[in-house]
Each structure stands twice: as C-alpha cells, then as structure tokens.
Amino acid sequence: MSRVQANLLLTLVALIWRSAFVAQSHGMADSGPLAFTGARFLIGALVVTPLSWREWQGLQRPDGRAQGRRQVWQIGGLGVRLLLGAVMQQTGLISTTVTNAGFLPALYVPLVPLPGWLVQRQLPHWSVWPTGLSCPLGAFLLSGAHELSIGIGELWVIASALHWALHMLLVGRVVDRQGAPFLVAGGQFFVCALLALAGALLFERVDRAALRAAALPIL
C-alpha cells in the first residue's frame, strides 16, 4: 500500500468515525454505555474474524507453534485501552450534545505526538505541531460548538481523548511489530466487547427489549 493510499484510507476512517457520533447519541436513549460499547465492538469483532483467522494462520511458525504470549498480551492491552476510551466517550454522550462530542475528541490529535516524544524519544517532524494544533480548531469551527460549556459530559469526553491518544500510539507500535492489522483489530475488539458486556451485567440493567431498541444505532 502506497502512502497516498494509506492516507486516503485514514481519511475514510475519520469520516466513518465522526459520523458515528449521531448513532452513538441515539443509542444511549435505550442502552447503557457499557452495554452499547460491548454490543458494537462484539459485532465489529465478528465482522473481522474471518480475516483475523486468515492472518493468524499465516503467522504460524514452521514448527507448528503459534505466536508468543507477548503478542497476545499486547493485543489485550489495546483492548483495555480501547474500552476505557469508548466507555468514557459513551458516558459523556449521556449529558453532552453530539456537536460537542464531535469536537472534543479532536483534542487527541495534538496529544498523540506527546507520548511518542516523552516516552519513546521520537521527536516529531516540525510540521506535526502546527497541523496537530489546527485540527481541534478546525473541528471547533466545523462543529458549530461556538457556545461550548464544560460540564460533566464534556469532561468525560475530554478524558476519553487522552485514552484515544495513547491507544493510537500503541496501535501503531503493535501493528508495526506484528504485521497483522486484522488480527490486532479483531483481538482488541473481542477484549473490549467481553469486558464491556461483563461490566454491563454487573452495573447496568440489560434486557433484550433495550438492546432491540438500540439495534440500529449499534449496527
């Protein structure tokens, strides 16, 4: 894949991700944040399972043994980080607007280079800073959040941006080392889904009627 193709693919990802805020907001009318998060990521895991299995088979060692435990733990860690970011964002949507929820996560963009600089000692190119800082400003202007007020919902979404930034950095490292994007995606989706659904059974009221009512936003 060329760099132009990769950038176009990431642009498509951003379009899909931003448009999902409307569905996420509507889904909260019938479902709790943990149940909603668990259901959506479980579906996502099932969608990529065939491709994940194909990659897994290709990564088998010549002696018949699978990849080591380290790779499994790395994918599991990504799932936990994904869970924290998604649930915090979903919780914030209970009491904030879709407009604010669409703008505030853009704060993770200038945050992504900071862990790489502080932890990995990777100094970003100078162009990263002006473009990264201009991204939240552009999102603010496009979202129309000109009368932004910071309440509990906005604080949850801002907190989720910190986890998204760390998740983005870690995903890049893990995928680069393992060379199996579908396996990494499917694995972290499964971990996120199982933990979220377990939390929903413990802390939320989960019933079939609520899940059926939220089925379309979840899909």
Which percentage of the chain shows pLDDT scores above 70?
A: 74
- Three-class SS of the chain: CCHHHHHHHHHHHHHHHHHHHHHHHHHCCCCCHHHHHHHHHHHHHHHHHHHHHHHHHHCCCCCCCCCCHHHHHHHHHHHHHHHHHHHHHHHHCCCCCHHHHHHHHHHHHHHCHHHHHHCCCCCCCCCHHHHHHHHHHHHHHHHCCCCCCCCHHHHHHHHHHHHHHHHHHHHHHHHHHHCCHHHHHHHHHHHHHHHHHHHHHHHCCCCHHHHHHCHHHHC
Residue 177: predicted pLDDT? 85
Q: Domain extents for the chain?
A: 39-59+180-219, 84-178
Q: Tens digits of per-residue pLDDT, 82-120? A: 999 999 988 888 877 766 666 666 666 666 666 666 666
Chain segment 144-162, per-residue pLDDT in tens: 555 566 778 778 887 888 8
pTM of the model: 0.78
